[in-house]
Chains A and B, each alone.
Chain A
């Protein structure tokens, strides 16, 4: 049972100020207590089910200069491409053949190369293969989200990266993404469009994670009250290999990452929490039971990466968990979890 432990913090009824206190302690007992509470709550809310999904990159043209991203506009290393509708169909078929039923469609930010209409057409094709389709694309207008929703899209992923405005400005050198407010207001537009799920997050390592996570939690809690029908999801991708970098990234340790996950579960009992393939398998497997509800599996972050499996590391970020969909499924089953492949059936949105 959850109780007021050593810290005097009531983990069963966390207030935002408690989160601030939790983040300021480095206390082994507190962390242990949080882990127990997060595990119990996750089991009660979600049982032993973990949903599996895979990303599908359809285009990587990008006008943004985000200093931390492999797809940034001036990068000459990344070959730029954009799949045709036929190629998208073949990518979907190849991905669906692995057993995946939930798919996240991604593009870079280019209204010229990958306009909303193109994304929409891709989603219509994807929805023939996958009962659940979500998008992770540049921020759109409300009516554009609405069109995606009507085309069968049920979820949108949009990360603010950081809530520190000055730092945001510093790290986003050029491109439409430079406008902080247009991005931070995107979840409101998504919610108003009718979309069922919104996944939000910050990129850990850009600035002091405590401030960023607090801001994220406050943002999501506000949206929950405003749009109670929307299911919110959280993700905590973290930058790796941050040493000796000119951009002054701040490393987030495994212990800190673990604390963030537990705090997220306790503060948002019903939120979906996903864990990225950026994480190493050993760590990924360990933290599942403390709040994770969703994992990507057998992921490729290359455009066209499923038809043409490649050894080259030229995706948006390096995938640190190279296991196939079947391998991830087997790992989950061995740990007593039910890998859920089908979690949604499109019911014709209107």
Chain B
């Protein structure tokens, strides 16, 4: 990365910003405005009133696209991909920008209509539910009085007894009549008829006991008629909503137009926002940012064409430089694993190229069935062929393709082809003992051998991690730290391994033992070298105590065996169940169903397990030895379009 500083004339600003976006390689950093007295020198950020307006339009376009998707029966594809379009073609399409805006507004109008209709319908719905309990009441709902009496409708909670209310009403006024119209789980629905002079008093008494007046001034029919009317109106409104929805669906063809418009607006908005971030004097602007070294030439050409003054600098010690990973074609897909953890520090090591081969290998050993490997490889290859995926998703899918190939390899080594399917089928249906033999050995027969192999791989993996740590320390001039912290452990663990391997010969065993002891002595003497006094002694012992950490790290690789066995055993179980019903046509059909469901389930659950635990081995056991993370991802100023991928 290089730091780029640019000063240019205001007259070239528009052109500069647009070309910078086409270049798409500069991450702009914000600078504090410098204070100055003379306004020629004062650098203040410009303003961007246009950006807010564009934001509004963008969210309109998004709403219109959402509405189209929601109402159209067209299904969206499994993976979303951007349309590729030449920049020149895109510009000529956008000549019709005004039409697109019109189309967008048309759809938004329809959407607004639907909203209003739905609102009306909701209101009718709530009217309906408030009227329904009064169905048995046959007088018009808005009737409140006759010449001498008042009619009041009201509800009480069902916890209140109706008889008590009646007594209370009668006590308040001799003439009061309280009738029950209806009741449900929560409420009782009552009609109160009172002589006009007594009305206020009776209502007061009843209200104290929980009586709530329910008035229906806008209904001049009885409840039953009102319900029929509301039902009809709701049905009409529903139909209306559907009709307008259909109108939106008919306009599905306009989706592409609005998507183009959306992306154009995004680019305009981003340019406006950037203009606002630039520091200005009266006639010039200034900006700084980070640019990858490979893009320097292209940037120079572009800056020259805008007649800007510019300067490339190396980052200093204190800078937080953004991080962009760069790897070869095989390693790149595994970057998604690194990114999921956290990007490396700018001054650290990108671990991807180191762990990629281990990742594929571990995944293959955990899934460990060639049949599943074939399915995984073909499925991912088809996806990659059919969809032009981008970014992280592309990396992931491609990574799983490599993992699938590795699974085929390990599956063949261990003799797993959908478990023991060949042997199971041939013995059930053809009474032969044909089977695919493992190239290496069958872990179910000899698990201890695979356990030792797994732990051995773990040692290699961990040693590589420590080696990276040592190389980083040496590069920074701390050679002795590498010897004390990393090479000493090489001696200890290497010595132990020699002791185990050479346990037959006493010279070999003793050689291993001396190497191990030498390693321990280095650790004991140097473990507390940063500390003072008694801390030095304790530090040495703490360093040795870390042996437990190494042991648990190495044992952790036993999961390679365990998960591999799990896949194999479940596959075997599926095959056993599938062939339980014996040979013949009926047996074949049952077997086929059990095979498809069982093996798909096993593949899904174990592929997830393999992915998760392979990642874990990288994150905990491998990264733990050396990785310095916390880098900020490189985020250049570019065409951040959502639906269209512009090519030059």
A binds B: no
